[in-house]
Amino acid sequence: MRKKLNPAEGVALGGATRSRLELPPERAFVVQLATHAELPRRVVARVEHVTSGQVAHVASARALISFMAAVLRRGRNRDTG
């Protein structure tokens, strides 16, 4: 049986609870989907890292994840370097 999602909770997170979920602003992204995107088969989107303002236009889920990982990696390197 699938867990019914509460719109305020968003995606079901397995055993994670809100109190244990950490959402730091430096890890926040805005993803804007084009009207002709057909998820999950066809991704057409603009993604922006909230705190740095870095932007990418992506045409696949792989490109979306790759951009996000690269931004977070650069931020981590800046913090440690």
Half-sphere exposure of 49 (CA within 13 A, CB side): 21
Residue 14 lies in a domain: no
Residue 2 lies in a domain: no
Residue 67 lies in a domain: yes
Residue 62 lies in a domain: yes
| pLDDT top residue among 45 and 9 | 45
Query: In the chain, how many domains are there?
Result: 1
The Cα–Cα gap between 73 and 79 comes to 10
The Cα–Cα gap between 52 and 33 comes to 20
Q: Which domain holds residue 44?
A: 23-80
Residue 27 lies in a domain: yes
Residue 4 lies in a domain: no
Lowest mean per-residue pLDDT among 11-15, 51-55, 61-65:
11-15
Residue 1 lies in a domain: no
The Cα–Cα gap between 79 and 81 comes to 6
pTM to 2 decimals?
Answer: 0.71
pLDDT in tens, 4-23: 555 555 566 666 565 678 89
Sign of the CA dihedral running 57, 59, 63, 65? positive
